[in-house]
A and B are shown apart, each in its own frame.
Chain A
Amino acid sequence: SQTIHQWPATLVQPVGSPLSLECTVEGTSNPNLYWYRQAAGRGLQLLFYSVGIGQISSEVPQNLSASRPQDRQFILSSKKLLLSDSGFYLCAWSSQNYTFGSGTRLTVV
């Protein structure tokens, strides 16, 4: 069966520090992968998606970047975090339906 792993679950980082969130998928090959962000009390906004290794599309301009170094690995990064980067980040992969990771709660202080 397909599973998706996302870590860490919770992260508190100071402003200006770097960020790396990792997501891996098991049980499928060449999945479409996505990073979403959810601000407090709001809906999910698509940040990045990838249809293959090294292929990244950005949906909104921002302080973050994404990479896909392996088929089933998707990484969300930042060189210098801003206060506005705080939020809940969800990784997902899709076939016919979506499967979401358990999310990372990021607080930038």
Chain B
Amino acid sequence: AQTVTQSQPEMSVQEAETVTLSCTYDTSESDYYLFWYKQPPSRQMILVIRQEAYKQQNATENRFSVNFQKAAKSFSLKISDSQLGDAAMYFCAYRSASGGTSYGKLTFGQGTILTVHP
């Protein structure tokens, strides 16, 4: 079974600075997807960024980028120019790309609470 580990329960950053959230995962599969989700106080789950394991290029979405190290099974999220609205719980998640009964299920890490200081 796949596992996802976020070793930082809490992180903080000054507004306009950069912060990196860590995530490691364990899997025996070669084809999968990795995600970062943001959960603000409203508790709505918002997709931040997605990475396909077969792609070597790191995904980017505006101020958000990832450092995907497949061999190390590491998937960190970098937030540049942090804004007050970035404050939230961030979850790393894994999803198999294979078919069968495991297809589509997301396995989440425990989350990292990000605080942004003005």
> B-contacting residues of A (Cβ < 8 Å)?
32, 34, 36, 38, 41-46, 49, 57, 59, 88, 90, 92, 94, 97-98, 100, 102-103, 105
Is A43's CB under 8 angstroms from B104's CB? no
Find B44's partner among A36, A42, A44, A103 (CB 8 Å cutoff). A103
Residues A100 and B104 in contact, CB atoms below 8 Å apart: no
**CB within 8 Å: A-B pair count:** 46
In the bound complex, CA of A44 to CA of B110 (Å): 8
CB–CB A97/B106 < 8 A: no
> Is B104 within 8 A of A49, CB to CB?
yes
Q: Does the CB pair A98–B109 fall under 8 Å?
A: no
Q: Return the contact of A43 from the options B35, B50, B108 (Cβ within 8 A).
A: B108
Interface of B is mostly: loop
Residue of A nearest to B4 (CB): A43
Contact A98:B111 (CB < 8 A) given known A44-B91, A57-B101, A103-B44: no
Q: Which residues of B contact A (CB under 8 A)?
A: 35, 42-45, 47, 50, 91, 101, 103-111
Chain B residues, CB < 8 A from A49 = 104-105
Cβ contact within 8 Å between B91 and A88: no
A42-B110, A43-B91, A43-B111 known; A88-B104 Cβ under 8 A:
no
Q: List 13 A-B contacts (CB under 8 A).
A: A43-B109, A45-B108, A46-B105, A46-B106, A46-B107, A90-B45, A97-B47, A98-B35, A98-B45, A98-B106, A102-B42, A102-B43, A105-B43
Helix, strand, loop or mixed for chain A's interface?
strand
| Docked pose: A45 CA to B103 CA in angstroms | 16
In the bound complex, residues from chain B placing their C-beta under 8 Å from that of A88 are 43
Q: Is the CB of A103 within 8 A of B105?
A: no
Across the two chains, which residue of chain A brings its CB closest to B109?
Answer: A43
Is B111 a contact of A42 with CB atoms below 8 Å? yes
A36-B106, A94-B104 known, 7 other contacts, Cβ within 8 Å: A32-B104, A44-B45, A44-B108, A92-B106, A98-B35, A102-B42, A102-B43
